[in-house]
Amino acid sequence: MSSLSIYNDSNPEAVIFETTQYSVISEKLGVLGVCFERWETKVLSNDDDMLLAYASDIERLKSENGYQSEDVVSLKPDNEKKSELRNKFLSEHTHSEDEVRFFVEGSGMFYLHVENKIYMVLCEAGDLISVPANAKHWFDMGESPGFTCIRLFTSKDGWAADYTGDNIADTFPKFEIEEKAA
């Protein structure tokens, strides 16, 4: 279940607000300029089918926000480079464009650093998040990642980070994927 937890950036031990209600998550993030939507998920076998299945929502976002391209990214627990890839996103950074992700399957945690607060947003299948350009944030996929996302870009160059050099990401709880009971 998607969730939002808010902390003071100086105290990673004390949650000051927490919710799993979609409407509250969307409202709280909207105040920050972060788009958070929930789309119906569909079981699909390949990237082309995913892009086709979500074409109307993708086109809506492209026309509203000027995005120029989209792709599908998938990472599974057996990926040999999973630790290297995880570490790439774990440091606080910004982008010159929005970071848009729709979780077709799986989950991941976005951490937004706004003023003196950290907003931890657990995104799961069906969640779309758009972190605005220049917003300080990081992403954690967990030690055993398992997700597929559709990404949208303004630039044809794709994902490019400008790291802040702040070690704040090291002080906050890492994302732990909960094992589903059989």
Q: pTM of the predicted model, to two decimals?
A: 0.93
Per-domain boundaries in the chain: 3-166
In the chain, the amino acid numbered 112 is: L
Fold of 3-166: Jelly Rolls (2.60.120)
pLDDT of residue 157: 65
- Judge contact between 60 and 103, C-beta under 8 A: no
The rounded distance, in Å, linking the Cα atoms of 94 and 52 is: 30
pLDDT of residue 182: 41
* Closest CA relative to residue 39, chosen from 85, 102, 98: 102
CB neighbourhood size of 18 (10 A): 12
Q: What is the pLDDT along the chain (182 residues), one digit of tens a residue?
A: 999 999 999 999 999 999 999 999 999 999 999 999 999 998 888 999 999 999 999 999 999 999 999 999 999 999 999 999 999 899 999 999 999 999 999 999 999 999 999 999 999 999 999 999 999 999 999 999 999 999 999 876 666 788 999 999 999 999 987 654 44
Alpha helical stretches, state H, the chain: 22-31, 47-53, 55-65, 82-89
pLDDT of residue 122: 98
* Closest CA relative to residue 127, chosen from 27, 51, 38: 38
Q: Which two tokens stand for residue 155?
A: 């630039």
pLDDT of residue 46: 92
CA-based torsion, 3, 86, 100, 32: positive or negative? positive
pLDDT of residue 97: 92
Distance of CA 177 to the CA centre of its chain: 14
In the chain, the amino acid numbered 41 is: T
- Judge contact between 142 and 176, C-beta under 8 A: yes
pLDDT of residue 136: 98
CB neighbourhood size of 24 (10 A): 13
pLDDT of residue 176: 87
Q: Which two tokens stand for residue 85?
A: 């890839």
- Judge contact between 40 and 34, C-beta under 8 A: no
pLDDT of residue 56: 96
